[in-house]
Structure 1
């Protein structure tokens, strides 16, 4: 009986084991799906029009997309085996190095489709040749396969932008190594077109990553030239696998499959062998040759005549390919070759046609070197090498059409709210009046979000004389100088701008009833007040702004409601700063308190953030710590809106809040906001506020040094960074803040209280809690005292300090070094 039941029991046991295995596999699949969905959600939430923004660095989403394998591609199992062997044997670096056209990206795309792990892709271009931009892109790429890893890395992108302009990537790289080491699966990071990178700091950072990479992280580099890495040392250590041109070239069998099966040429073995020999297996050459041979009556004769060096072969074949295409298709490819990326509506605009969607589909069908940039094939581009030749031919044959083509592209990008790409094409014309109009129409939006680096790049792409001869451009440039703290340089431009303005008015080019006339009048007055304040003429600056305020309401019908809010935002903020300079803090707070409502209405988040930072400083100085924190947190809550979260302007509030939290001894939270603010200020070009952040960091580290003496050295290091920036800016207000911080850092704690009647230990405890912004009841609760007892201690310490109010007690306590 037992033996009869044995097979059934064995079958049940086998079935149970299979069920357990299947359940485990299902759980693992669900986990991977959850991570993939989370990754997509991260990208989707940040994506708008194919772009995402990180730390004020524009990130092109399609650079992170895993490339799709071309239809009908020739499989290359021998190369896949090489790649898989390197992966299985734990090679740290896979180097795919060969000239253009050897199928590096296509091979890796094929490999990824068969790869059982997770791979992050990053397509590099020459704009990525900056240290902080490069590693920011790496962080975004890794986030596509591991959202938790990507988010963690973003927080460690070091804010340590040195005053010299160099970027310290070591904290980021260390975090990447440590986070990767903790993973339970292997990740692959693929860097495509690495040959565009020449920045030595990037090479050194990559070397650090390769030397310390854990087994869970593999790096793949696709490049036209060998990177400056110690490849021989890596070979000796068995940490490198290489695929080069000799490996990537098509062999005769692969060439035959490509030419006859994929391109349908029906060549005999001798012709395939001849073409493979002449091209040396160069895939792009074979593809171009195949396109040239289509519909030829005698392909054998073409092959026999096909010869020359690689460069001339490429040029010859491009000419042949173009000439073999319909005339309309040739015109389309040449006209659209000016575009770095293209979609059907954009191509319609540039070619003045309506059938670009069909034409793009035709280009894909003909394998004419067009690459899809997204899964929906909405955005596309030409193969870089092919695009270069198309542009060269366009310049040789139809150079007179180039300005109009760029103008059409610029207008399309402008109409579709991509001003930066519109400017690139306008500059390529070059049409400086049109560039000027683009800048004038768009600079406020950039300025209001705090994207200083972009605003400066736009304006400094123009000839210097144009900034002085165009009042609108000159005013825009002066406000970027204001953000940068270069107040004295504003004065160098104002005289020329006013002369140009008067000349335009006298000539009738800018009549008084024109809206721009009133805008420029107001802006020039406000900029004059900035210069006056910096030169110590606070009273004159205040009066100038007070005279300006009543005129703003009168312009509501001419300028519209939005400009009225802009005017009040600018006037009240500058009025508040002038009152601060005059040490009239009550009026300063009154003026600054009016800014937020107007700034929110017109979207001027930079002014809102700047005012918040300055207002919180006044509150701190006057002992109103609770109010300072409330102001900062209220305005910083705006950054919770996904549409506003990426605005660099909010770094000013983060820095201000960090100082407030330091004042109430919440040092850990203060350091967190300080790191966030410094990081954004560094990458967005805010040198003036970066210096202020360094000073806040110095003061924070001084407080931390009471418990950890090592922090004292960090405080001095932050002070030196601020000193170097201050030396370049020559800003009086920054110099004064620098001097106060230096004095505080270098002042030794007094050996005892400098009071005739010293405070008792209990009175010192009460005083410190007052300085932390605590109410009498909160002090009583914290010290377990009766409320009347607290009041008695407060009266006693008031008498000993010779003050009458809490704010006076706070200021006197700080002056004496008691807190």
Structure 2
């Protein structure tokens, strides 16, 4: 049997089993997991008398089985077995043996009759103390339930026999392949610890021109193994059940009944589990199962080859079952494998927004890509989804193309017009005034319970910000952040929270700003979002907080992350793209990275050309450019302000004298004067007013 090399990685398993108090050790696993290898190694490892019996189909008879076991004991003892041994005599001899022994019985799965299993039960019950019966089988072992209840059995299964990277590497080395540990570990994971799979992957690699270690269930050698060792012994009904359930990523009795149009699937799944046909339960109960990954790939290839027309019917039935239970995403996965494009598109339209807001952007993009542009163009609501996907993943060209398509599509329904208005507001191609009108229109035309309402509120806040109407923006952003966080709409929540944090810090409310920024970071982490147009602004806000307390290292780390993640922040979401880059540029300048700030400034000019009407952001950008043009010299900001200097800095906005500032901070006048002088030097200014102005532009002070 194909398995782990002799002696590799099995010593610890054997040692633990030998030391266990259990009289019976049962090794139960599918073909190719190294059961025979384990028993062979055990035979050389054990210091007790070793009795080995390998069963054959002819042993499925109580008399024949007794004879085989009696012969095994005779061989171990160097004696001759009785001519016609009896079960009573064999059991008595086993019970009376003077020295401890281990009886290794391989291929127990060949026993099917109750009478043969009764022989095993009786022998197992009479194993003397200090001795052990070790049985290996591909099928569930009927003698175990009672022993299990009596704590007399130690059970080993696929989880115990699964090979890891070390054993996989040894298997590959035996085949003449020298691979890196990481590659061997990856192969072991791909094979789900199946030793035979690793060995077969080695054979595939040696036979392929590129020698790659990628393994699939329909690879020739792997498929031959499954066809011979797993499908071969099955009857036609069992074979058909396995082939047709291969379209399912999880197997349940009711689901399989619906897909296969039968009523006995629960019993059949239990049989396949007991037979270890690479069908394994998921979770503690036996309600749901799954195929081994490679076995499922093999079955799917066989099904498509033998009955390709039936595949679509099976997927359609599965989709109907899932849809009836409100499991839209599972239904979509099945429908994508069919030609039922209308039904698929309708389900994607219903499920995609919620999936996207949960952070499943890759899933949604795969749905849309599989459907293709022809289907998207035939379903305007899907075009809306594709437009949002492009906008939120940093693809302004695609976003604009689908927005233009939607604007040219004649559809009088208010719901679609509201969707168009939302996308147009987010992209703001016609400036903040139109963006605000679009957001307000959408707010009055979407369902009040829909996530679109929360998005419309957030976009109202963004448009107000671009118009410089901060007081009007705040309640919109606060409501959007609150409702989006509660409902798990993270793409909305992160943007609203980041903007709220920045506004609070600009107003000098660092406590509230910190709370909003930490909430934005937390929402990003909880959602697992791969990227978001507001990521740059969130990281910049967090860096701003770190700089305020003098933690330069943390600030620089987050600014570096912001620079790396800015590719997703584009003109498709202009407010977040411009405000985020401008914030990072200011902080880079404040920490002495003038080159990084200049790089972002070039990107900001490009964004301004794509979106010429940025509202007050244009003036903010111009102010920063003017500061750079007037202060780009060697004595610019080359070091961050210390915590002590940052405590002094806000008092420069007041009319307090230096002595009075010292009194407020409980330091001497000389100390306060020294810190103020240091602030002037670091900011590259010579007056109190200039220091306040530059610190405000750089984000170190609120306005």
Q: TM-score range by the shorter chain?
A: 0.5 to 0.7
Asked if the contact 2:485/2:523 (under 8 Å) is kept, the reply is: no
Task: Report the counterpart of residue 480 of structure 1 in structure 2.
Answer: 389
Task: Supply the distance in 1 between the matched residues of 2:273 and 2:158 (Cα, whole angstroms).
Answer: 22
Q: Which residue of 2 aligns with 1:522?
A: 418
Distance 1:378 1:675, change over 3 A: farther
Aligned match of 2:36 in 68, 74, 80? 74
- 2:299 corresponds to 1:427: no
Q: Which residue of 1 aligns with 2:492?
A: 607
Q: What is aligned with 1:452?
A: 361
Q: Distance in 1 between matches of 2:244 and 2:498?
A: 50
Q: Does 1:664 align with 2:548?
A: yes
CA separation in 1, counterparts of 2:305 and 2:648?
80
1:83-108 C-alpha deviation (Å, 9 max, x unpaired): 9xxxxxxxxxxxxxxxxxxx9x99xx
The answer to whether 1:471 aligns with 2:380 is yes
Distance 2:559 2:636 in 1: 35
How many angstroms does 1:432 deviate by?
1.8
Aligned residue in 1 for 2:347? 438
Matches within 5 A, 1:479-498: 479-487=388-396, 489-498=398-407
Gaps of 5+ in 1: 1-28, 30-66, 84-102, 123-187, 195-203, 211-217, 226-241, 250-309, 506-516, 706-711, 755-760
The Cα shift of 1:738 comes to 9.8
Match of 1:513 in 2: none
Deviation at 1:431, TM superposition (A): 2.3
The equivalences for 1:762-801 within 5 A come to 768-769=649-650, 782-784=665-667
Q: Is the 8 A contact 1:427 1:435 kept in 2?
A: yes
Structure with greater Cα Rg: 2
- CA–CA distance in structure 1, aligned partners of residues 259 and 601 of structure 2: 49
Counterpart of 2:95 in structure 1 is none
Q: Residues 86-131 of structure 1, C-alpha deviation per residue, up to 9 Å, x if partnerless?
A: xxxxxxxxxxxxxxxxx9x99xx989848xxxx9969xxxxxxxxx
Equivalent pair of 1:525/1:544 in contact (CA under 8 Å): yes
How far 1:487 moved relative to its partner?
Answer: 4.4
1:541 pairs, out of 418, 428, 435, with 435
Q: Is the 1:474–1:497 Cα contact (8 Å) retained in structure 2?
A: yes
Task: Name the CA shift for 1:742/1:367 in 2 (closer, same or farther; >3 Å).
Answer: farther
CA distance in 2, matches of 1:357, 1:520: 45
Counterparts of residues 166-565 of structure 1 (less than 5 Å): 207=180, 222=188, 318=227, 325-372=234-281, 376=285, 379-382=288-291, 386-414=295-323, 419-487=328-396, 489-502=398-411, 517-531=413-427, 533-535=428-430, 537-549=431-443, 551-552=444-445, 559=447, 561-563=448-450
Q: CA-to-partner distance for each residue in 1:712-735, whole Å, 9 max, x for gaps?
A: 59x7499589969x89x9677799
Which deviations, in whole Å up to 9, do the C-alpha atoms of 1:46-93 show, x marking residues without a partner? Answer: xxxxxxxxxxxxxxxxxxxxx97459942436678999xxxxxxxxxx
Q: Distance in 2 between matches of 1:816 and 1:366?
A: 70
Conserved? CA contact 1:623–1:771, under 8 Å: no
Is the contact between residue 448 and residue 605 of structure 1 (CA under 8 Å) also seen in structure 2? yes
Instruction: Assess, with a 3 A threshold, how the Cα gap between structure 1 residues 430 and 809 changes in structure 2: closer, same or farther.
Output: farther
Aligned equivalents of 1:639 and 1:677: distance in 2? 14
Q: 1:621 to 1:121 in 2, by over 3 A?
A: farther
Deviation at 1:574, TM superposition (A): 1.5
Deviates more, 1:337-346 or 1:692-701: 692-701
- Secondary structure (helix, strand or coil) at the match of 2:472 reads helix
**For 1:694 and 1:816, how far apart are their aligned partners in 2?**
13
The aligned residue for residue 150 of structure 1 is none
Structure 1 residues 364 and 590: CA distance shift in structure 2, 3 A: closer
Name the structure 2 match of 1:576.
461
Post-superposition offset of 1:693: 7.6
Aligned equivalents of 1:384 and 1:208: distance in 2? 22
1:358 CA drift (Å)? 0.9
Conservation of the 8 A alpha-carbon contact between 2:252 and 2:287: yes
In structure 1, what is the Cα distance between the partners aligned to 2:225 and 2:202? 23
Measure how far apart 1:366 and its partner are.
Answer: 4.0
Contact 1:695 1:722 in 2 (8 A): no
User: What is the distance in 2 between the residues matched to 1:193 and 1:427?
Assistant: 39
The match for 2:502 is 617
Aligned to 1:32: none
Q: Is the 8 A contact 1:475 1:524 kept in 2?
A: yes
- Shift in Å, 1:405: 0.4
Q: Quote the residue 1:158 is aligned against.
A: none
**For residue 10 of structure 1, what is the aligned residue in structure 2?**
none
2:558 matches 1:674: yes
Work out the CA distance in 2 between the residues paired with 1:424 and 1:337: 14
What corresponds to 2:22 in structure 1? Answer: none
- How many Å separate the matches in 2 of 1:458 and 1:813? 48
What is the deviation of 1:648? 5.9
User: Structure 1 pair 420/637, CA: closer, same or farther in 2 (3 Å)?
Assistant: same
| TM-score normalised by the chain length of structure 2 | 0.56
Cα 1:545–1:379, aligned 2, differ >3 Å: closer, same or farther?
A: closer
Report if the CA contact (8 A) 2:390-2:396 is conserved: yes
Alpha carbons of structure 1 residues 780 and 432: separation in structure 2 relative to 1, 3 Å: farther
Measured at CA, do residues 612 and 810 of structure 1 come closer, stay the same or move farther in structure 2, by a change above 3 Å? Answer: farther
Give the secondary structure class of the aligned counterpart of 2:336: helix
> Relative to structure 1, is the Cα distance of residues 390 and 740 closer, same or farther in structure 2, using a 3 angstrom cutoff?
farther
Q: CA RMSD in A?
A: 6.2
The one-character-per-residue Cα deviations of 1:592-645 (angstroms, maximum 9, x if unpaired) are 2332234345442321211121233344445544442233235656689xxx56
Shift of 1:190: 7.0
Q: Count matched residues.
A: 515
Q: How many angstroms apart in 1 are the aligned matches of 2:485 and 2:602?
A: 31
Judged with a 3 Å threshold, the aligned counterparts in structure 2 of structure 1 residues 193 and 692 are, in CA distance, closer, same or farther, namely farther
Aligned-pair CA distance for 1:402: 1.3
| Aligned equivalents of 1:416, 1:771: Cα separation in 2 | 64
Q: CA distance change for structure 1 residues 813 and 470 in 2, over 3 Å: closer, same or farther?
A: same
Q: Aligned equivalents of 1:409 and 1:666: distance in 2?
A: 58
1:571-598: CA deviation from partner (whole Å, max 9, x where unpaired): 2222222233233333333432332234
Trace 1:16-31 onto structure 2 (pairs within 5 A): none
CA contact (8 A) 1:657 1:673 kept: no
Change over 3 Å in CA distance of 1:353–1:716 after alignment to 2: same
Say if 1:413 and 1:699 are closer, same or farther in 2 by CA, change over 3 A: farther
Corresponding position of 2:153: none
**TM superposition shift of 1:417:** 6.6
CA contact (8 A) 1:334 1:390 kept: yes
What is the CA distance between 1:656 and its match in structure 2?
A: 5.2
The whole-number CA distance in structure 1 between the counterparts of 2:390 and 2:236 is 52
Q: Distance in 1 between matches of 2:699 and 2:168?
A: 56
How far did residue 654 of structure 1 move? 5.0
Is it true that 1:587 corresponds to 2:463 in the alignment? Answer: no
Report the Cα offset of residue 525 of structure 1: 1.7
Q: Determine the C-alpha separation between the residues in 2 that align with 1:621 and 1:121.
A: 54
Tell whether the 8 Å contact from 2:315 to 2:335 is kept in structure 1 after alignment: yes
Output one character per residue of 1:305-343: Cα deviation in whole Å (capped at 9) or x when no partner: xxxxx9699769949986874443333222112234433
The answer to whether the Cα contact below 8 Å between 2:531 and 2:568 also exists between their aligned partners in 1 is no
**CA 599–319 in structure 1, closer or farther in 2 if over 3 Å, else same:** same
